[in-house]
Structure 1
């Protein structure tokens, strides 16, 4: 098994590529038309392309003027990191003129996604006697756009973090079984299992560093110099880690977000700040457009200025735990146990408002994003019915579905169309996009 065989080392970790389409309404429409919500869209059956009315819950913000060189596009904002790796806001900019406001949630031709099947329980246990005649699914996925390469066995509890450092041939996985496992990308074999003496709440990589969230501590491993250090300060379990503006942020069980800054002169991480505001554990964070976005068990998302480290505003539209936040293009996406995935866009005043809400039948867990073999953005979303759904953006047309025996809490993307899922059973599966694919309809 060769993880690195087809695509170099372009990093797409936890972020989606820039948008590739328009979807704006014609400029000759009246203000009245632009402000009216499409009745057929509300009923779920609009098939006009483009539709002259809104396919969203809120009126659009005023359009920002574009520069003479076409500055209204979805370009990426990049900045250097002393910690290494690409900037965390790549492919994301909080512009004030979203291009997809009237296309969110539109399924091409008004055709609903195909109803997915159920995995055969007997097949999963290796004992189905019906074979090809079985009316249930004998596969861990549906959809011809991707395939399962291999399953990595070894963890005994839920996998909470997966990282494939750029340019390296080792995959790192962390679990609540208190172990970090290191896998050889050529053979698929576990080459090391390191016991850390505490449940691992999260695991990420950035440049030469692998960061591990533990109870009351963050472990920092430099995989190039083979050195490690322990960062103290967190109270309780560390559930989320992210790097932004040359700082490492840790979301903790007591609701605080701790920040460290790397000092190259001393080769150490020095405490920089403690961000207070959340009243319950911080379980997800993402960096984009010089902002830190944090989601919490207090049902809120907080937006922090990365320069001042001050909370700019709090988003309270979710009614249950905010499990994951993700930046794509000029949008913020958030998933929650309230069974909704919300798409946020910036208004003229700079506030974020919900521009589209996608609802499922089960609580939503982890979000991740990548591009398919044709460069089209794909959203991966796991839910507590033990599945991962793969959606085209911005249409939310379902491209496929992944099944598991238990909840999938970790999703990581990699080079060459690779992506990884880690479930509550301790299994890590390696998937890859096919060269040719079609939507599931």
Structure 2
């Protein structure tokens, strides 16, 4: 039997000999390229190039141009040269080279990746670039305005090479040396956050700031505030509801504020401390909530809850079909607009010490979602795109106002005029003519659908119209000019607005956020 033996001429080195060992005879490819950052390096760094240097690799810099990186025409890569102000990192593998295309800083932001531990850090564009020595590595490296996008070096471990540029950190394939997976930030566009010191869109709030993740900070071109304009300010935010606030009521001679929402609750707030002092759990969503004197009315599916804030009396009114969307009180009658398109009317009864159903007003073909009382008439807005006018005494429909092309979300009486807002993006002003008809005398157009209308007077008793839109804003307009004096921003649509004493007003949005606002003593109008 013959024993296997090694050939003496084929000497091999154990891989364990390389650990902490000296250099090998292979010349370091990164040293030839002028960008090796390892000290010591396990590959050979000759003091000078050999007299007959090896054939130039497409991944090495030519000696005649030490600050540029380019590939030969035969490699088939166009526009591969990079200016001295940028550093290009290429994949060092046996596979075919991957093309590297030139990108601007704006291109680098799109579909970019940012580590979740630095997702709130701004992505800035450097105005200059400085050539770093191999000893400097890639720490604190700057990028030129030409915005060169570097490719990841997938075949080399992070310990072998750390030739990374800032662009590497914002590409989808980037991984930090510690192995942290980068998070995609594809929803950010360059137009949303620019390198500016002051907002260039003072009437547009930054949507990323609303969500708490704007990366631009003070350099964002959009507004970082819950409102813009002079003459009013935000006093407080009341937290409690976890779904949309659909109604706000402030009973007379009461220090309590009532709010109802889609979370099936009515919350009672102390007006002095801003604390929630009571939570009433109900059987369904609160579709509307109003107060008249000490009485609080809560619209629910198929019923209405009635509370007296002074005597704690509680009643339940049955009769509505579907959700109660709107309520109003006029001529000692409670009116309720329902999902079925019927308006129910209740009158007080001395015999039962409660409210008795007096009439059912029929005419709308869609749900009644807004009601208001003015003089001797009741106005109703519906999902059938019309406004109907009802006589308070006879409960008969005397006018049908057609002019909107979408659901009428709110109706409001101002002086001798009727204002109506619609999802068609218009606010219409109606007035009675000499012939007895009611016609549109003015149409104000918005870029978005209009939701809730509410009126208030400033310190000089000038009328102000508050209009919430489905772009998550509330506009403040001077009447009758419709000159915008300010704007309120919210995370989602503001579905409830209520006026309080001494210039106070309240807004509730679809997230459940309740906000308290106050008009200033001497408001200043802001041009639109």
TM-score when scaled to structure 2? 0.61
Separation in 1, partners of 2:240, 2:451: 23
- For residues 376 and 429 of structure 2, what CA distance do their matches in structure 1 show? 19
Instruction: Give the deviation of 1:439 after TM superposition.
Output: 1.1
Shift of 1:351: 1.1
Q: Where does residue 278 of structure 2 map in the other structure?
A: 192
Number of residue equivalences: 328
For the pair 1:123 / 2:209, whether they are aligned, the reply is yes
Is 2:291 the partner of 1:205? Answer: yes
> Do structure 1's residue 426 and structure 2's residue 512 form an aligned pair?
yes
Task: Give the match for residue 305 of structure 2.
Answer: 219
Give the aligned partner of residue 106 of structure 1. Answer: none
Give the superposition deviation at 1:143: 0.8
Local SS of the residue matching 2:222? coil
8 A Cα contact 2:299 2:323, kept in partner? yes
Deviation of residue 127 (structure 1)? 4.5
- In 1, the alpha carbon distance for the partners of 2:221 and 2:523 equals 25
**Counterpart secondary structure, 2:205:** coil
**Secondary structure class of the residue paired with 1:215:** strand
Alignment CA distance shift 1:314-1:155 (3 Å): same
Match of 2:264 in 1: 178
Q: Which structure exhibits the higher relative contact order, with contacts defined as CA atoms closer than 8 Å and separated by 6 or more residues?
A: 1
The residue number in structure 1 matching 2:423 is 337
Counterpart Cα distance in 2 of 1:116 and 1:370: 24
2:488 is aligned with 1:405: no
CA distance in structure 2 between the partners assigned to 1:115 and 1:274 by the alignment? 50
CA shift at 1:436, angstroms? 2.0
Give the whole-Å Cα distance in 2 for the aligned partners of 1:122 and 1:296: 35
1:388 aligns to what? 474
Residue 313 of structure 1: how far off its partner (Å): 1.3
CA RMSD of aligned residues (A): 1.4
- Aligned CA distance change for structure 1 residues 409 and 434 (closer, same or farther; 3 Å): same
Task: Tell me how far apart the structure 1 counterparts of residues 367 and 211 of structure 2 sit (CA, whole Å).
Answer: 37
Distance in 1 between residues matched to 2:202 and 2:394, nearest whole Å: 47
* Deviation at residue 123 of structure 1 after TM alignment: 3.0
Match of 1:98 in 2: none
**1:347 and 2:433 aligned:** yes
Displacement after TM superposition at 1:266 (Å): 3.0
Residue 128 of structure 1, CA deviation = 4.4
* Mapped pair 1:263 → 2:352: no
The residue that corresponds to 1:438 in the other structure is: 524
- CA 1:422–1:147: 2 relative to 1, 3 Å: same
Deviations 1:125-167 (A, max 9, x none): 4454544343221210001110000001111111100011122
In structure 1, distance between residues paired with 2:361 and 2:395: 7
Q: Distance in 1 between matches of 2:318 and 2:505?
A: 32
3-state DSSP class of the match of 1:168?
coil
Task: Report the equivalent of 2:44.
Answer: none
Displacement after TM superposition at 1:323 (Å): 0.3
Distance (Å, rounded) in 2 between the aligned partners of 1:331 and 1:115: 34
Report the Cα distance in structure 2 between the residues aligned to 1:340 and 1:192, rounded to whole angstroms. 39
1:279 aligned onto 2:365: yes
Residue deviations 1:360-411 (CA, integer Å, cap 9, x gap):
1111000000001211000000110000000000000001000001000100
Distance 1:303 1:241 in 2: 15
Q: CA deviation at 1:181?
A: 0.4
- Unpaired runs of 5+ residues, structure 1, are 1-113
State how far apart, in whole Å, the 2-side matches of 1:121 and 1:399 are: 22
User: Normalising by the residue count of structure 1, what TM-score does the alignment of the two structures yield?
Assistant: 0.73
Match of 1:312 in 2: 398
**Which residue number corresponds to residue 324 of structure 1?**
410
Tell me how far apart the structure 2 counterparts of residues 234 and 115 of structure 1 sit (CA, whole Å).
Answer: 47
Q: Equivalences for 1:15-414 in 2 at 5 Å?
A: 116-128=202-214, 130-414=216-500
| Structure having the higher Rg | 2
- Indicate the SS of the match to 1:308: coil
